[in-house]
Amino acid sequence: MDVRFAPSEFFSVSAKKGKALSVWALTGGAILFISVTVIVAVLLIPKRQIFNKQNKIEGSLVVFSFRYLRSVTRNFSERLGKGSFGSVYKGMLPDATLVAVKKLDGLSQGEKQFRAEVSTIGTVQHVNLIRLLGFCSEQSTTMLVYEYMPNGSVDRSIFGSTPVELRWNVRFQIALGIAKGLAYLHEECRSRIIH
The reply, when asked if residue 103 is annotated as ligand binding, is yes
In this structure, are residues 153 and 81 in contact, taking their beta carbons and an 8 Å threshold? yes
| Whole-number Å distance between alpha carbons of 80 and 148 | 10
**CB atoms < 10 A from the CB of 113, how many?**
11
Burial of 145 (0-12, 13-18, 19+ CB in 10 A): buried
| Whole-number Å distance between alpha carbons of 132 and 145 | 6
| Whole-number Å distance between alpha carbons of 194 and 187 | 10
Which helix (DSSP H) or strand (DSSP E) does residue 68 occupy? helix 66-72
Question: In this structure, are strands 98-104 and 141-147 parallel, antiparallel, or unpaired?
Answer: antiparallel
Annotated binding-site positions: 103
Annotated binding-site positions for ATP: 103
